[in-house]
Amino acid sequence: MDERREEQIVQLLNSVQAKNDKEQESMSWWSGDEESPTEQPVKVKPDAEKATVRRRPALEKTSLDRDVEYLFEKNEQDTDLDEQLKEDLRKKRSDPRYIEMQRFREKLPSYGMREELVNLINNNRVTVISGETGCGKTTQVTQFILDDHIERGKGSTCRIVCTQPRRISAISVSALGKLASWGGLSL
C-alpha cells in the first residue's frame, strides 16, 4: 500500500471517530418517557461553589455493548475445545464439498497472499487490509485467521472483528461532500 493511500485511510478513520464522538456528545442522555436524571452535588474544594451533575440513568445494553464486553473479557485457552476444533478441521479437509470450496477459494486474489497476511496479522496489533471488491478481504481473511489459530492449537482464543467497509466508505464520501461544498468545490 502506498503512503498516500495509507494517509487517506488514517484521515478517514480519524474523521469517522470524530463524527462518532460528536454524535455521542449531542445525544440525549435520557428519553422523554423516563424520569429526569438525578442531580447530585459534586465534591469540590471547600472554598468553591457546589455544582450539580446530571447522572445518566442505566440503559439497556445493546448488542454492540454486549459484543464489546465479550471482546474485552479475559480470554482463556480451552485445550479440549482446541483439540476438538483441530479434529473438525482435519475432517473437513477430507470432505468432497470442502475440497470443492477450497478450489474456489484458491482462485481468489487474497488466497495467494494467505501466509503473508497471517504473518502480518500475527505480528502487528493493527492491520489494515485494502483490496478490490470481491478479493476476499471480509470472508477469506477471517477464515485464514481462524484456520491459523486452529492449526496452532489456539482456536479457542481466536476472536475476530471485521468492520463493514461500505459503511465507512459511505460516511467518508458524505463527509468529503460536505467539506467540498463548504469550500465551494464540487466532487
> What residue ranges do the domains of the chain occupy?
77-161
Cell matching residue 45? 474544594
pLDDT(140) > 60: yes
Q: What pLDDT is recorded for position 66? A: 81
Instruction: Count the helices and strands in the chain (H runs, E runs).
Output: 7, 2
How far, in Å, CA of 151 to CA of 2, rounded? Answer: 32
Compute φ and ψ for 41, nearest 5 degrees: -70, 150
Dihedral over alpha carbons 168, 21, 72, 170 (to 10 degrees): -10
Q: What pLDDT is recorded for position 164? A: 66
DSSP calls for 90-146: HHHTTSHHHHHHHHHHHTSGGGGGHHHHHHHHHH-S-------TTSSTTTHHHHHHH
pLDDT, tens digit, for every residue of 111-128?
999 999 999 999 998 888
Per-chain mean pLDDT for the chain: 75
- Estimate to the nearest angstrom the gap between the alpha carbon of 28 and the chain centroid: 25
For the chain, the straight-line distance linking the first and the last C-alpha, in angstroms and rounded, comes to 24
Q: What pLDDT is recorded for position 4? A: 74
